[in-house]
Structure 1
Amino acid sequence: MAKSQVKVQQTAGHDVLGEFAPEFAHLNDNILFGEVWSRNDLLSMRDRSIVTVVALMSQGLTDSSFRHHLEFAKKNGVTKTEIAEILTHAAFYAGWPKAWAAFRMAKEVWAENADSTTDTSLDAYAQTIIFPVGKPNDAYAKYFVGQSYLAPIVTEGVPVANVTFEPGCRNNWHIHKANKGGGQTLICVGGRGYYQEWGKEPIEMNPGDVIYIPTGVKHWHGAAPDSWFSHLAMEIPGEGCSNEWLEPVNDEDYSKLK
Structure 2
Amino acid sequence: MTTLQKIKQTAGHSVLGEFAPKFAELNDNVLFGESVWNDSTLNLHDRSMVTISILLGKGLIDTSFKSHLEMGKKHGITRQEIAALLTQAAFYAGWPNAWAGFRMAKEVWADNETATEKERFQQEMIFPIGEPNTAYEKYFSGNSYLSRISDSQISFSNVTFEPGCRNNWHIHHATKGGGQMLVGIAGRGWYKEEGKPAIEILPGSVIHIPANTKHWHGAAKDSWFAHLAFEIPGENNNTEWLAPVTDEEYLNTK
Whether the TM-score (by the shorter chain) exceeds 0.5 is: yes
After superposition, residues 137-216 of structure 1 pair within 5 angstroms as 137-142=133-138, 143=140, 145-146=142-143, 148-151=145-148, 153-154=150-151, 158-164=154-160, 168=162, 171-172=165-166, 174-177=168-171, 182-188=179-185, 192-197=186-191, 203-205=201-203, 209-214=204-209, 215-216=213-214
How far does residue 138 in structure 1 lie from its aligned partner after superposition? 0.7
What TM-score do you get using the length of structure 2 for normalisation?
Answer: 0.71
How far does residue 194 in structure 1 lie from its aligned partner after superposition? 1.4
Which residue is 2:218 aligned to? 220
How far does residue 118 in structure 1 lie from its aligned partner after superposition? 9.6
Contact 2:172/2:179 (8 A) holds in 1:
yes
After superposition, residues 22-37 of structure 1 pair within 5 angstroms as 22-35=21-34, 36-37=36-37
Between the aligned residues of both structures, percent identity stands at 43
One-letter code of the match for 2:171? K
For the residue of structure 2 that corresponds to 1:186, the secondary structure is strand
Which residue is 2:39 aligned to? 39
How far does residue 184 in structure 1 lie from its aligned partner after superposition? 2.9
Higher relative contact order (CA 8 A, sep 6+): 1
Query: 1: CA distance between counterparts of 2:55 and 2:229?
Result: 36
After superposition, residues 1-258 of structure 1 pair within 5 angstroms as 6-35=5-34, 36-40=36-40, 42-112=41-111, 114-115=113-114, 129=126, 134-142=130-138, 143=140, 145-146=142-143, 148-151=145-148, 153-154=150-151, 158-164=154-160, 168=162, 171-172=165-166, 174-177=168-171, 182-188=179-185, 192-197=186-191, 203-205=201-203, 209-214=204-209, 215-216=213-214, 218-221=216-219, 230-236=226-232, 241-244=239-242, 245-247=244-246
Q: How many residues are treated as equivalent by the alignment?
A: 235
Contact 1:172/1:248 (8 A) holds in 2:
no
Contact 2:55/2:61 (8 A) holds in 1:
yes
Query: 2: CA distance between counterparts of 1:117 and 1:110?
Result: 13
Query: 1: CA distance between counterparts of 2:171 and 2:96?
Result: 57
Alignment CA distance shift 1:23-1:158 (3 Å): closer
Query: 1: CA distance between counterparts of 2:52 and 2:116?
Result: 29
Instruction: Pick which of 195-204 and 135-144 moved more.
Output: 195-204
Q: CA RMSD in A?
A: 4.0
In the alignment, structure 1 segments of 5+ residues that lack a partner are 254-258
Contact 1:148/1:169 (8 A) holds in 2:
no
In the alignment, structure 2 segments of 5+ residues that lack a partner are none
Contact 1:176/1:182 (8 A) holds in 2:
no
One-letter code of the match for 1:211? V
One-letter code of the match for 1:29? D
Structure of larger gyration radius: 2
One-letter code of the match for 1:195? G
Alignment CA distance shift 1:7-1:201 (3 Å): closer
What TM-score do you get using the length of structure 1 for normalisation?
Answer: 0.70
Query: 2: CA distance between counterparts of 1:38 and 1:219?
Result: 29
For the residue of structure 1 that corresponds to 2:54, the secondary structure is helix
1:11-55 CA distance string (max 9 Å, x none): 111222222222111111111112221223x22222211221122
One-letter code of the match for 2:111? E
Query: 2: CA distance between counterparts of 1:109 and 1:11?
Result: 22
Alignment CA distance shift 1:195-1:133 (3 Å): closer
